[in-house]
Amino acid sequence: MDSAHGIGEGEFFITFVNTEFNHRRMLHSGGLAKDDATPDFRFLSISDGLPFSDADATQPLHIIGDGLPSSDGDATQSLHSLCDSCRTYMVQPFQDLMVKLTKDDDVPPVAHIISDGFMNFVTCPAAEKFGVPLVHLLNLAQNTVETMRSHVVCLPVPVQSHIGAMLKVANILHHEGGLFITFVNTEFNHRRMLHSGGLAKDDATPDFRFLSISDGLPFSDADATQPLNALCDSCRTYMVQPFLDLIENLTEDDDVPPVTHILSDGFMNFIASLAAEKFGLQLVHLFPIPACALMAFKHYGLFVKKWLKLSKGRMEAKELRRIICKGWVASASEKGRPSLMERKRKSGVASSLARPPEWSIPRWLNSVLTKVMKNSPSPMP
């Protein structure tokens, strides 16, 4: 109500929708007298699906075990029954009200819906059906809102190019999706980023944090990439437990939202999958490598199989290339037929021109965003 009054002062036409039960209560209390005198601030009502009641009492917040109407005479329904009834019976009445408003020549066309965040199941279908922008209002304390945010823990491969790619995705999830981000580096790379000044901007954001864990290698302050072979062996051996400990510490930290997702580099699955399984978290993989490299890794087993089969004889590079490409095209295209890119390549069209127009959007990034946002907690009762 306070928000509606504030918006009304900005010369907006307001239609305030109550349930019939609460509309009667406001009429009995005289709470509508002042607003009724304002022609551009109207009150309308829709049914909540509950049995009629003229009691001047709030529908109780205690939950009756069987969800049936209370028999104490001072209350109509439990919160459990009210929520069930709203989900079942309020969607259509609200859409019918929207239809009447759009046909009413005495009022301006509906331009926006401001909905309580917990009424999204009613307002979202209406906004989509009538093409009206939807704004959610969460009438909650700040700490309660924080606990409802998705908290994504990002785990990149501890080398520069993979960290950079993961950092770009993390920034998009944070700035565009409003998610709480914990970015996990190794202690070595964390020191490098501090020395380079790369953390100065993000450290100023309280909901984008950088934490570090040990990679198991001896201490080094060198400004260079660590030896790759030693780094891989050490990560497999020593990084699993520190990462599990970090996730456990985050779940016990009351100053941050509970961890909901792990966004892991695809090559760090041996760590992230264990943590996701242990703590019951959603796991999303990011492969920040070219598609050809990903396909090569995918068909490495085929390469080894064919290589061992022909290892007794001499296999020329041309034969090896034919084996790999044959398996690639057969699995990458539907029912073994050549894909669009392969058909275009045969006709002499460059591969960069063979992509469909919609591929201009980074589809791998859209996939990550979709998976993370789809599994975000929904503020619904």
In the listed set 233, 266, 288, which residue is the last one of a domain according to the structure?
288
Q: Does residue 322 sit in the same domain as residue 272?
A: no
Q: What local confidence, expressed as pLDDT, does residue 117 receive?
A: 78
Is 378 inside any structural domain? Answer: no
Is 368 inside any structural domain? Answer: no
Is 370 inside any structural domain? Answer: no
Alpha helices in the chain (DSSP H): 2-8, 20-29, 33-36, 79-89, 91-103, 120-130, 142-148, 160-175, 187-196, 200-203, 228-238, 240-251, 269-279, 291-298, 300-309, 317-332, 340-346, 363-374
Q: Does residue 198 sit in the same domain as residue 132?
A: no
Q: Report how far residue 103's alpha carbon sits from residue 99's, in angstroms, rounded to the nearest whole number.
A: 6
Q: Does residue 297 sit in the same domain as residue 209?
A: no
Q: Report how far residue 53's alpha carbon sits from residue 47's, in angstroms, rounded to the nearest whole number.
A: 12
Q: What local confidence, expressed as pLDDT, does residue 170 receive?
A: 92
Query: How many residues does this entry show for the chain?
Result: 381
In the listed set 116, 143, 170, which residue is the last one of a domain according to the structure?
143
Is 180 inside any structural domain? Answer: yes
Chain centre distance of CA 226: 34
List the Cα angle 226/229/233 in 5-degree steps: 100
Q: Does residue 214 sit in the same domain as residue 341?
A: no
- Please measure the distance between the N-terminal and C-terminal CA atoms of the chain and give it in whole angstroms: 20
Q: How would you label 342-360 residue by residue, b for 16+ Cβ within 10 Å and e otherwise?
A: bebeeeeeeeeebeeeeee
Q: Does residue 48 sit in the same domain as residue 100?
A: yes
Q: Does residue 284 sit in the same domain as residue 315?
A: no
- Check which CATH number belongs to the domain holding 237 and give it: 3.40.50.2000
Q: Does residue 277 sit in the same domain as residue 296?
A: no
Q: Does residue 331 sit in the same domain as residue 218?
A: no
Is 130 inside any structural domain? Answer: yes
Task: Please list the pLDDT of the chain residue by residue as tens digits (381 residues).
Answer: 666 666 656 578 889 999 888 888 888 777 666 545 577 888 899 988 887 776 665 554 433 333 334 333 334 446 777 788 888 889 999 999 999 999 998 889 999 999 887 788 899 999 999 999 988 887 655 555 555 678 999 999 998 889 999 999 999 888 877 889 999 999 998 888 888 776 665 455 788 999 999 988 888 777 777 888 888 898 889 999 999 999 999 989 888 889 999 999 999 999 999 999 999 999 999 998 888 788 777 777 777 776 655 555 555 556 656 665 665 544 444 443 334 444 444 444 444 444 444 444 444 444 544 555 455 444 433
Q: How many domains does the chain have?
A: 3
Q: Does residue 179 sit in the same domain as residue 91?
A: no
In the listed set 143, 161, 191, which residue is the last one of a domain according to the structure?
143
Residue range(s) defining the domain that contains residue 84: 2-143
Q: Does residue 163 sit in the same domain as residue 279?
A: yes
Q: Does residue 219 sit in the same domain as residue 95?
A: no
Q: Summarize pLDDT for 210-255 with one digit per residue, the tens.
A: 999 998 888 877 777 788 888 889 888 999 999 999 999 998 988 8
Is 380 inside any structural domain? Answer: no
Q: What local confidence, expressed as pLDDT, does residue 1 receive?
A: 64
